Structure 1
Amino acid sequence: MSFDERTRLLIGDEGVDRLAGARILVFGLGGVGGYVCEALARAGVGALDIVDNDEIDETNINRQIIATRDTIGREKIRVMMNRIRSINPNCKLTGYDCFYLPDDDSAGLFDFSNFDYVVDAIDTVAAKVDIIARCKDAGTPVISAMGTGNKMDAGRFQIADISKTSVCPLARVMRKELRDRGITDVKVLFSKEEPVKTGQRTPGSISYVPPVAGLLMAGQVIRDILNEKH
């Protein structure tokens, strides 16, 4: 029995073939993006391009799927690629060890029209807006993660158009930036939970919240590809 046999029972041969033929670009391999990649690989997505320039740190262990005592100090991109290969050896992998910025050489590495879907799981507002704008120009579906830090209730996550978001401070900033650029119809994941006030600049996190966000985003991507509704 192949690794995708249970998936095939649920979505049929056509669905499995559709996922195997999909190429998805994921920005960020942290608490959210790592679980996006995990779910896409286990679902049988045929090609993943992943982007991150960070190394695994001890502080990542509480929430990031690739972070263990054994992987501290290693490049996230390499650890994730090895993990995906061990899950789905048929997945075509391309890794980019870079920090994406709009006016940097990194922006020229990607032809967004080559992808069936783009996932934004990074934190930098300028980069998030630029990724969304480039996807819109290319006609490529994109989903963007809003804030998952300082949250305790993973059941408050929703996926909606950016115009329907509320409560989330990052979503408020993104609404303005996208509105100023005239960009509409952007699918995002956000939380309606008020952030916990920690008194620290660095956001707090807990084991189950970012992973739930990542799995919800991956699920949305998979359903959209299967249903061809973008």
Structure 2
Amino acid sequence: MFRRNALVIGSGAVDALSRKRVLVFGLGGVGGAAVEALARSGVGRLGIIDDDIFESSNRNRQLAALESTLGESKVRVTANRLRDINPQIELTLFEQKLTGDRIEEFFAEPVDYVVDAIDDIPGKVALASFCQRRGIPLIASLGTGNRLDPGCLEITDIYRTHTDPLARKFRKALKEAAVSSLEVVYSREKPVKLEGGHRGPGSLIFVPASAGILMAYQVVVRLIAVH
């Protein structure tokens, strides 16, 4: 199924990706797009982590959120979707929330790359600290809510970010945890003011899905560069 992938990146890279293992934390608008892009790019082994279910409000931006999947586990629905894309894919399912005291459970098997698509600051910091100690490559997403323009997304180091309120809190927490560097996808776009004074967040599909695909792109090119 990856014949067209091979025309672009080469058959050797396709073969290498089939043996790589990536963990994706969070299966919302960002993580759901990232994990699907990874599967369609040929990453052969994925661990998917989320403790949530699909709700009606997810349908405007989350790829696996459908009328038929409302109320169902994001992990199980996503797993079925990925197996429908690639029946040979190897999946490890974690229907649980990331917490710092149980983080090693997710790394019982070797991991080549980690995608952080959660919005919980303590969880993000715990994951960044763990990956830094273990030398595991990690890319993290920042705020995608209350934004409209996917062209404002970029990949950079967390300490070079600006504008994003989530990034400000994350930078402070990472400094306190002695995390020296972290690759992130973030938006330079200022959050829009929400109609009617709502606190939000508001969201359309454009920015979160694009952020997820950008994260998957970075993971794939880094993995095949190592190859």
TM-score greater than 0.5 by the shorter chain: yes
How many residue pairs align between the two structures? 225
CA RMSD of aligned residues (A): 1.3
Indicate how the Cα distance of structure 1 residues 228 and 153 shifts in structure 2: closer, same or farther if over 3 A, else same: same
Aligned match of 2:94: 96
Aligned match of 2:135: 139
Pick one of 82, 85, 88 that aligns with 2:83. Answer: 85
Q: How does 1:38-187 map to 2 (within 5 A)?
A: 38-103=36-101, 106-111=102-107, 114-187=110-183
Where 2:140 maps in the other structure, the secondary structure is strand
TM-score, normalisation: structure 1: 0.95
- Following the alignment from structure 1 to structure 2, what is the Cα–Cα distance between the partners of residues 161 and 227? 19
- Following the alignment from structure 2 to structure 1, what is the Cα–Cα distance between the partners of residues 99 and 176? 19
**Partner amino acid, structure 1, of 2:58:** N
- Following the alignment from structure 1 to structure 2, what is the Cα–Cα distance between the partners of residues 47 and 40? 10
- Following the alignment from structure 1 to structure 2, what is the Cα–Cα distance between the partners of residues 112 and 39? 24
Indicate how the Cα distance of structure 1 residues 50 and 5 shifts in structure 2: closer, same or farther if over 3 A, else same: same
Asked if the contact 2:125/2:177 (under 8 Å) is kept, the reply is no
- Following the alignment from structure 2 to structure 1, what is the Cα–Cα distance between the partners of residues 63 and 53? 13
- Following the alignment from structure 2 to structure 1, what is the Cα–Cα distance between the partners of residues 163 and 146? 13
Segments of structure 1 that go 5 or more residues without pairing to the other structure are: none
How far is the alpha carbon of 1:101 from its aligned partner? 1.5
- Following the alignment from structure 1 to structure 2, what is the Cα–Cα distance between the partners of residues 165 and 135? 20
Where 1:216 maps in the other structure, the secondary structure is helix
TM-score, normalisation: structure 2: 0.96
- 4+ runs of 1 displaced by more than 6 Å? none
- Following the alignment from structure 1 to structure 2, what is the Cα–Cα distance between the partners of residues 129 and 57? 27
Aligned match of 1:216: 214
1:194 aligns to 2:190 (yes or no): yes
Segments of structure 2 that go 5 or more residues without pairing to the other structure are: none
Indicate how the Cα distance of structure 1 residues 204 and 195 shifts in structure 2: closer, same or farther if over 3 A, else same: same
Percent identity of paired positions between Structure 1 and Structure 2: 45
Q: Could you report, residue by residue, the CA deviation over 1:97-138 in whole angstroms, capped at 9, with x for unpaired residues?
A: 0011213xx424122771000000001000000001111111
Where 2:10 maps in the other structure, the secondary structure is helix
